Amino acid sequence: MATVSSSGRVTAEGEGSCTITVKTKDGGYKDTCEVYVEDEGKINFRPTSMTLYLDRTDSKTVTVTIDGDDSDIVDVTWESEDDDIAYIYEENFDYDEATATIIAGSDAEDGDTCIFTVYVQTEEDEYEAEYKVRIRD
């Protein structure tokens, strides 16, 4: 459910609950606390990453779904960190998934990468994630 670093930072590892125990080095003081972790949903990408080739007709589509949130998608926004390297050619969304077709930009060169940030609004929540696109000859 959760792990604790040597500095005391608690990190969620999965849904559920657990008890965290802390004690002093000499053992003179000990305390516990309950930690509850809920799965709040996350953005999944299919495929998980993308490579575009410099043939300007090359385009690929990524599909976005939300795990852990059964409500409908009501809005999706994509932002490219550099439209000259890669940009959204076409995008759509319906109740349970969103798609974006990505194409290499006019200044793209072999070895470039471009990060897209996607913002997904459902009836219940808002999600944000980054998607990496690589450019190759």
Do 82 and 30 lie in one domain? The reply is no
Residue 38, pLDDT score:
62
pLDDT in tens, 30-64: 887 777 676 556 889 999 989 999 875 689 999 99
Count up the domains in the chain and report the number: 2
pLDDT in tens, 77-104: 999 999 999 999 999 998 889 999 999 9
Residue 119: CATH number of its domain:
2.60.40.10
Do 57 and 100 lie in one domain? The reply is yes
**What is the pTM for the complete model shown?**
0.69
Note down the domain range covering 20.
Answer: 2-37
Instruction: State the SS3 of 52-114.
Output: EECCCCCEEEEEEEEECCCCCEEEEEEEECCCCCEEEEEEEECCCCEEEEEEECCCCCCCCEE
